[in-house]
Amino acid sequence: MIKDWILSGCDERIALRPETDANQYHLNPNKFEGLLMRGSCTCGTLTPDGLKTAQRFEQEYRVSDDRRWIQEQTARLRALFDGESSTEFDLYYGPSGSDMMYWPLLMQSMLYPGKTITNIVSCPEELGSGSILAAQGKFYASTNQFGAKVPKGDVVENSLRIEVCFCLLAKKADTFLTASKPFATSLPNAQGSPLSATSFLDQSLESRTI
């Protein structure tokens, strides 16, 4: 049952291949002895403690508890990130980081139908191929979470108009924000002419030393 839960709703990156009994990353989530755990990485496996928690969850889980469980987890996450402040924010759940790249595109397309969406993506050097495609509103895998075949690399919805800027590098030792090397599509400025990622940052962000 635990294996079925881990692999359900996944795409081909996580699915186990019959010829190797391993996923795209050459790992099986249940075969973790002697391995170093890499946090929440897509290729991550269980750990001894994680397996115990999963086994306990398997014994206690009831479908009817789903709503209560989500509410409890949401309350815990709000307390973790918000602390004593009164800042209001919402939490959304998804099967992977790549899937969550679609979420702001969905929200913007609903709020501003027919408008071009400028999607500014940070830490491009940390992204995998799935997130890079999803940020452009494209299918990032050839199989979706329901097991259906989809055209990887094609736009999810033809009505979407998206311009992507992969232009905020991860934090460096000497600066808080820095312009990226050429690794972005061009953005239109107020006059409608092309604006490079570097120029965009120069005009809209102030680089600050730590």
197 contacts 169 by C-beta, under 8 angstroms: no
What percent of the chain clears pLDDT 70, i.e. is strictly above it?
A: 77
In the prediction, which pLDDT does 108 show?
93
Residues 63, 47: Cα–Cα separation, whole Å: 25
Residue predicted with more confidence, 94 or 21: 21
Instruction: Compute the radius of gyration of the chain from its Cα atoms.
Output: 20
DSSP string, 24-91: TTS--TT--TTPPP-TT-TT----HHHHHHHHHHHHH--GGGHHHHHHHHHHHHHHHHHTT-------
Prediction pTM value: 0.67
Is it the case that residue 116 has pLDDT exceeding 80?
A: yes
Task: Give residue-wise pLDDT tens across range 65-110.
Answer: 888 989 999 989 888 887 676 777 888 888 788 889 999 999 999 9
Alpha helices in 101-189 (DSSP H): 102-111, 129-135
Residue 124's CB: how many other CB atoms inside 10 A?
Answer: 21
**pLDDT single digits (tens) 152-183:** 999 999 888 999 988 777 766 554 444 444 44
